[in-house]
C-alpha cells in the first residue's frame, strides 16, 4: 500500500455486519484504518460490545470506534428494547441544562465502559420545520437559543467521560421536509439566521467533531454541504473557527450519492474540507473501502486533491484518536437519570387516569431509516405497572374498519390511543377523530412532536419522544404512580 493509500485509509470510517469484526475489518484496522462505525446490527449485549471493542482496539489501539447513541428514538445500545434515556426533545421540554448534562454523562459513562471513542451525537439542528421527517424529536426544539444551550450541555456531559461528541448536521438540517437518506433536501433560509447558533455553541464548548449534512443551503452554495468548500472550510473553519474533525454523514445516503456517486462524493468531501468519511449504513463490505481508497489515490495523481489536504485530514483523525486514548475513569454508570428526565418531560392534560384493564391501540408509523425498528408504544409500560392490557396495532389507512376490534374489546375498559407525529398523518387524524367520537374518554398519547392535539380529546399526554423510558414515565402518570 502506498503512503497516499495509507492516508486515505486513515480517513475512512466504514461499517460492517455482525457482532464480531470480519477478517477484512481486522486486516484493515491493522493496516491503519482510521475508524469504524457501529450500528444496532453489531450490538447483541453489553458484554459482547465490550469484547468487540477490545478486539478492534487490540488490532490497533489508535482506531476510533464510533456509534450513533443519541438516546431517545435513536439508540444502538438498546435497539431491541428502546432507550433508557429520553431524547433531545424531552430534554428541551424539561429545559434544565444540568439535567441534560447529567443524561449525556450517563450515556458517556456507558459508552466509555464499552470501549466506544466517539458518539455521533448530539443532534444540534433547530427543528424549524414541523414537517421535517428525519429530525423531529431528535432536536432539542424549534427555538435556536435553548437548542444552543442544551447542545452545549450535552457535549460537556458526554465529553466529561472521555467520549468525544459530534454535533450534527452542519450547517443545519432542521428546516427541511425531505429525508436526506432518500433525496437531497434544499434549505432556502440563510443558516446564519437560526441554524448556526447551536453549532457556534458546540464549538465554544470544545466539541471534538462536527458532522456534515447532505443538504443544499442555497444562501451559501448550490452544492450539497458535505462537498461544499464554502460550507465545510470557509464557514466551518474560517468563520466559525472550528479546529476539530469534520465527519461526513453516510456517503451512500441518496441525498449525496444520487448526485455524484459514493466514491466521487468521498473525493469531493475531502476537497471541501471533510476529514473522516463515513460509510456502512447501507454498504457494509470491503469493496466500498477499496473503491474509495482507489478513488482518493487517483484524485491525488490527477491533481484534483492535494496530498497536503489529505494529510491534514488524516492528522485530524489521529488527533481525535490521541484525545480518546487519554480517557481516565469515566464515572459511575447509571441509567436512573433517564427516568428522572423522562418524568420531567411528560405533559398531561385532562382525566388521564386509567383503570386496571385497558385496550391500547397503537397507530402504526413507517420505520425511520435512522432509528431502525426500535420498539415503541405504551402496552409494555402499562403492563409493567400492573394494567391488564389488550394491545392492537391500527393501520389508519383501513378507515373505520380498523377501529372495530379495539373499540369492541374496549367496552367497559379504559382505552388508550397511541400516536407518533399525528400532525403529519391525515389518515390517522381522521381515525382518531372517529375513535373519539365513540369513546371521548379515550386517553390520547402522543409520542412524537405534540403539534396536533385532537379537538375531541378530553385526556391528552405528550411524552415528547418514543423512548422506552418516555413510555414508562407516561405509564406512571396514567396509573397514578406519580402526579402529572
117 is catalytic: no
pTM for the predicted model, two decimal places: 0.95
- Can you list the domains of the chain with their CATH numbers? 3-325 (3.20.20.300), 346-479 (3.40.50)
Q: Is the pLDDT of residue 176 over 90?
A: no
At residue 484, does pLDDT exceed 60?
A: no
Classify residue 13 by its DSSP letter. E
The mean pLDDT of the chain is 94
Which residues neighbour 12 within 8 Å (Cβ) at sequence distance 6 or greater? 33, 34, 35, 276, 277, 279, 289, 292, 293
Catalytic member of 150, 173, 181, 214: 181
DSSP secondary structure code for residue 207 in this structure: -
Burial tier of 394 (Cβ tally within 10 Å: 0-12, 13-18, 19+): buried
End-to-end CA distance of the chain: 63
Is 185 within 8 Å of 176 (Cβ atoms)?
yes
**Beta carbons within 8 Å of 383's beta carbon, 6+ residues apart:** 389
Q: What percent of the chain has pLDDT over 70?
A: 97
Q: Which helix (H) or strand (E) holds 165?
A: strand 164-170
- Inter-residue contact 97 to 150 (CB < 8 Å): yes
Calpha distance 236→275 (Å, rounded): 13
* Burial of 262: CB neighbours in 10 Å, binned 0-12, 13-18, 19+: buried
Identify the active-site residue in 125, 249, 275, 421: 249
Name 71's bridge partners.
74
Distance CA 358, CA 387 (A): 7
Cα–Cα separations (whole angstroms), residue 81 to 77, 354, 373, 374: 9, 24, 10, 7
| Confidence bin at 400 (pLDDT 50/70/90) | low
pLDDT greater than 80 at residue 270: yes
What would the pLDDT profile of 88-114 be if each residue is shown by its tens digit?
A: 999 999 999 999 999 999 999 999 999
Active site residue 181: yes
Closest Cα to residue 462, out of 348, 377, 352? Answer: 348
pLDDT, tens digit (0-9, with 9 covering 90-100), for 39-48:
999 999 999 9
- Go through 237-260 and write b for each residue having 16 or more CB atoms within 10 A of its CB, e for each that does not: eeebebebbbbbbbbbbbbbbebb
Q: How many CB atoms lie within 10 A of CB 427?
A: 14
Do residues 429 and 398 make contact, with C-beta atoms less than 8 angstroms apart? no
Amino acid at each position: 500500500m502506498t503512503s497516499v493509500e495509507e492516508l486515505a485509509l486513515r480517513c475512512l470510517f466504514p461499517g460492517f455486519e455482525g457482532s464480531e469484526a470480519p477478517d477484512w475489518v481486522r486486516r484493515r484496522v491493522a493496516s491503519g484504518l482510521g475508524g469504524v462505525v457501529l450500528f444496532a446490527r453489531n450490538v447483541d449485549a453489553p458484554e459482547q460490545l465490550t469484547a468487540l471493542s477490545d478486539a478492534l482496539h487490540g488490532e490497533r489501539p489508535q482506531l476510533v470506534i464510533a456509534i450513533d447513541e443519541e438516546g431517545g428514538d435513536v439508540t444502538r445500545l438498546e435497539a431491541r428494547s428502546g432507550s433508557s434515556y429520553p431524547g433531545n426533545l424531552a430534554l428541551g421540554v424539561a429545559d434544565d441544562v444540568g439535567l441534560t448534562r447529567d443524561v449525556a454523562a450517563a450515556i458517556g459513562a456507558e459508552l466509555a465502559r464499552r470501549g466506544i471513542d466517539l458518539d455521533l451525537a448530539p443532534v444540534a439542528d433547530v427543528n424549524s420545520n414541523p414537517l421535517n421527517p428525519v429530525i423531529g424529536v431528535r432536536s432539542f426544539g424549534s427555538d435556536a437559543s435553548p437548542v444552543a444551550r442544551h447542545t452545549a450541555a450535552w457535549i460537556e456531559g458526554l465529553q466529561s467521560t472521555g467520549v468525544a461528541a459530534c454535533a450534527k448536521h452542519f450547517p443545519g438540517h432542521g428546516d427541511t421536509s425531505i429525508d436526506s437518506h432518500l433525496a437531497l433536501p434544499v434549505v432556502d433560509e440563510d443558516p446564519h439566521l437560526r441554524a448556526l447558533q447551536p453549532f457556534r455553541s458546540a464549538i465554544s464548548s470544545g466539541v471534538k467533531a462536527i458532522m456534515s449534512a447532505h443538504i443544499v443551503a442555497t444562501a451559501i452554495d448550490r452544492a450539497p454541504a458535505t462537498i461544499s468548500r464554502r460550507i465545510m472550510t470557509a464557514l466551518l473553519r474560517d468563520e466559525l473557527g472550528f479546529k476539530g474533525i469534520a465527519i461526513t454523514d453516510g456517503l451512500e445516503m441518496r441525498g449525496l450519492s444520487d448526485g455524484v456517486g459514493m466514491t466521487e462524493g468521498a473525493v469531493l468531501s475531502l476537497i471541501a474540507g471533510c476529514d473522516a468519511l463515513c460509510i456502512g449504513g447501507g454498504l457494509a463490505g470491503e469493496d466500498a473501502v477499496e473503491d474509495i481508497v482507489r478513488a482518493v489515490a487517483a484524485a491525488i495523481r490527477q491533481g484534483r486533491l492535494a496530498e497536503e489536504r489529505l494529510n491534514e485530514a488524516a492528522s485530524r483523525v489521529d488527533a481525535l484518536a490521541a484525545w480518546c486514548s487519554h480517557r481516565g475513569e469515566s464515572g459511575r454508570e447509571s441509567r436512573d437519570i433517564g427516568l428522572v428526565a423522562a418524568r420531567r418531560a411528560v405533559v398531561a392534560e385532562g382525566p388521564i387516569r386509567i383503570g386496571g384493564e385497558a385496550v391500547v391501540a397503537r397507530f402504526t408509523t413507517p420505520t425511520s431509516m435512522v432509528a431502525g425498528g426500535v420498539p415503541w408504544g405504551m402496552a409494555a409500560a402499562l403492563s409493567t405497572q400492573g394494567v391488564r392490557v389488550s394491545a392492537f396495532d391500527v393501520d389508519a389507512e383501513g378507515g373505520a374498519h380498523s377501529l372495530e376490534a379495539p373499540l369492541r374489546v374496549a367496552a367497559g375498559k379504559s382505552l388508550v390511543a397511541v400516536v407518533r407525529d399525528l400532525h403529519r398523518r391525515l389518515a390517522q387524524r381522521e381515525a382518531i377523530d372517529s375513535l373519539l367520537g365513540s369513546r371521548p374518554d379515550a386517553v390520547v398519547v402522543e409520542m412524537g412532536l405534540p403539534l396536533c392535539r385532537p379537538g375531541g380529546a378530553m385526556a391528552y399526554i405528550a411524552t415528547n419522544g418514543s423512548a422506552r423510558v418516555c413510555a414508562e414515565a407516561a405509564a406512571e402518570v396514567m396509573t397514578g404512580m406519580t402526579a402529572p
